Amino acid sequence: MLLYEHEGKELFKTCGINVPESQLVSVSEYQSVSLKPPLVFKAQLLSGKRAQAGGIVFDDPKGLFGKIINGEKVEKVLAEQRIDIEEEYYLSFSYSTKTREAVLTFGKGGTGVEEKGVQTASIDDLPEQLKDTAQKLWEVFTKYDCELAEINPLVLDKEGKVWALDAKVILDDDADFRREIKFPQRNLFGRPPTEAEIEARKIDEGDHRGTAGSVYWDLDGDIAVLAAGGGGSVVNMDALISLGGKPANYTEHSGNPPREKIKRLTKIMLSKKGLKGCWLVGGTANFTDIYETLMGFVEGLRAVKPKPNYPIVIRRGGPNDKKAFEELKKIGKKAGFDFHIYGRETPMTSTAKIMVEKAYGNTGN
């Protein structure tokens, strides 16, 4: 779970990291801020680069409320006492999946830190006045089972006091059961999860036979998307959107999930109202039984019985794919499903164009 700035700072304070006095306000509350000026007002977003997008102001914050920044609508603003900055640094602890250990990263901080350059370090390498804060950030990282605990900027004021002026914290969801501090559930977009998102994530609970539904997001469009996991799924989504397709949801399956898990996922995915099409897309698998997954998809499709009978574009390859395609043709003909089936000889992204044409009648949406 990615936390908002004010939530991350709540964890910082429990471990003794200095943060400025602040007050979280909504549009109806900002005029009653009780903090002593000068103040800075910061939109509370899950996305980065908010400063460059106008998400931080030093005067009247009213214009922030309702503003769309990096695709997120600003609902809350953090009013915070301004610090007289002398030096800015970047400091973080993260977990490296490559080395399977925690990594301390340090460098010059502030806006545009990517261009300034940061590097891995040890606490002993840090300036003396920052070592205590680094130790406390390590406590945050370990105590709260973080995947990332980042301060940017970590600053020194004119008197040499150290302050965390921002907080980016990502918690390991699997460790939530042992955290005393709880935060409201939210999805990738910062809103509470939908009923479909909650139900989809239950599919993998206690069943480690592949994954199906652990990644599921409801979107605003009208084409259901069931993708095979991996980087190719991102490329496929980019292709669909660039051609005018509007995803209604996005979900992944990976590994070799049994058909009953795909059936449950399909029922959730296709239960959304107003669908104009469904795109089941993935590369050529090595270990996934294509017959089993596609038969699970068909069972879910039969349970939903979509009306109207919208186009269903399938692009897949791998073990038992020919057997699966032959069975799909028979089922489609008998049940009246509008299947359009493509195998490993057809590029994945080219079926995005087919999906858009079939769903919107060659005109786009």
* Cβ atoms 215, 328 nearer than 8 A: no
Total domains in the chain come to 3
**78 within domain boundaries:** yes
More confident residue, 71 or 142: 142
pLDDT tens by residue, 148-186: 999 999 999 999 999 999 999 999 988 888 998 988 877
Instruction: Specify the 3-state DSSP secondary structure of 63.
Output: helix
Look up residue 218 and give its DSSP letter. E
What are the DSSP calls for 103-168, one per residue? EEEEEE-STTHHHH-EEEE-GGGS-GGGHHHHHHHHHHHHHTTEEEEEEEEEEEETTS-EEE---E
Q: Are residues 209 and 301 in the same domain?
A: yes
The answer to whether 27 and 33 are in contact (CB under 8 A) is no
Q: Are residues 223 and 326 both part of a single domain?
A: yes
Query: Is 184 part of any domain?
Result: no
The CATH number for 50's domain is 3.30.1490.20
103 close to 86: Cβ distance less than 8 angstroms: no
Residue type, 98: K
Same domain? 350 vs 287: yes
Q: What is the pLDDT of residue 114?
A: 64
**Whether the Cβ atoms of residue 118 and residue 105 lie closer than 8 Å to each other:** yes
pLDDT in tens, 333-346: 999 999 999 999 99
Specify the DSSP class assigned to residue 2.
B
pLDDT tens profile 190-243: 667 889 998 998 999 888 899 998 889 999 999 999 999 777 888 999 999 999
- Percent of the chain scored above 70 by pLDDT? 96
- For a pLDDT cut of 90, what percent of the chain falls above it? 75
Between residues 363 and 291, which one has the greater pLDDT? 291
Task: Tell me: do 108 and 55 sit in the same domain.
Answer: no
Residue 280 has pLDDT above 70, yes or no: yes
CATH number reported for the structural domain that contains residue 4 in this entry: 3.30.470.20
Q: Are residues 237 and 260 in the same domain?
A: yes
Q: Are residues 144 and 224 in the same domain?
A: no
User: Which of these three, 82, 102, 132, is where a domain ends?
Assistant: 82
Range(s) of the domain holding residue 305: 195-360
**What is residue 189's predicted lDDT score, i.e. its pLDDT?**
63
Strand ranges (E), the chain: 22-25, 39-43, 56-57, 68-69, 72-73, 77-81, 85-96, 101-108, 118-121, 146-157, 162-164, 168-171, 211-218, 223-228, 249-254, 277-284, 311-317, 338-342
Q: What pLDDT does 48 receive?
A: 84
Q: List the one residue out of 246, 240, 196 whose CA is nearest residue 222.
A: 246
In a domain, residue 42? The reply is yes
Residue 331 shares a structural domain with residue 221: yes
Residue 188 has pLDDT above 80, yes or no: no
Q: Are residues 150 and 275 in the same domain?
A: no
233 CA to centre of own chain: 14
Nearest Cα neighbor of 114 from 147, 90, 140 is 90
Q: Which residue has the tokens 């603003």?
A: 77
Rounded to an integer, what distance in angstroms lies between the CA atom of residue 247 and that of residue 347?
A: 20
The arithmetic mean of pLDDT across residues 24-43, rounded, is 94
Task: State whether 220 and 332 are in the same domain.
Answer: yes
Is residue 188 assigned to a domain? no
Do 130 and 72 fall within a single domain? no
Q: Is 183 within the bounds of a domain?
A: no
Point out the domain boundary residue: 130, 151, 178.
178
**Mean pLDDT score of the chain:** 92
User: Is 365 domain-assigned?
Assistant: no
Nearest Cα neighbor of 27 from 40, 38, 43, 39 is 43
Which range has the worst mean pLDDT, 7-11, 35-39, 109-113, 233-237? Answer: 109-113
Distance CA 218, CA 48 (A): 22
- Omega before 38 within 30 of 0, i.e. cis: yes
**What's the whole-number mean pLDDT along residues 116-142?**
92
CATH number at residue 271: 3.40.50.261
Q: Are residues 147 and 237 in the same domain?
A: no
Structure tokens at 83: 């610090």
Q: Are 224 and 270 in contact (CB under 8 A)?
A: yes
Closest CA to 71 of 94, 48, 91, 90: 48
Confidence band of 118 (pLDDT split at 50, 70, 90): confident
Burial of 195 per CB tally in 10 Å (0-12, 13-18, 19+): exposed
- Could you tell me the pLDDT band of residue 364, with boundaries at 50, 70 and 90? very low
Please answer whether residues 87 and 155 qualify as being in contact, where contact means their C-beta atoms are separated by less than 8 angstroms.
yes
Question: Domain boundary at 41, 65, 82, which?
Answer: 82
pTM, 2 dp: 0.65
Contact 275, 222 (CB under 8 A): yes
**Domain-embedded: residue 190:** no
Going by pLDDT thresholds of 50, 70 and 90, the confidence category of residue 307 is confident
User: Residue 321 pLDDT more than 60?
Assistant: yes
Distances (CA, A) of 143 to 11, 137, 164, 348: 10, 10, 18, 44
Do 206 and 348 belong together in one domain? yes
pLDDT the model gives residue 225: 97
Residue 320 lies in a domain: yes
Question: What are the CA-CA distances from residue 53 to residues 49, 166, 233 (Å)?
Answer: 7, 16, 28
**pLDDT, position 147:** 94
Torsion angle, alpha carbons of 292, 297, 298, 299, to 10? 90
Query: How many residues in total does the chain contain?
Result: 365
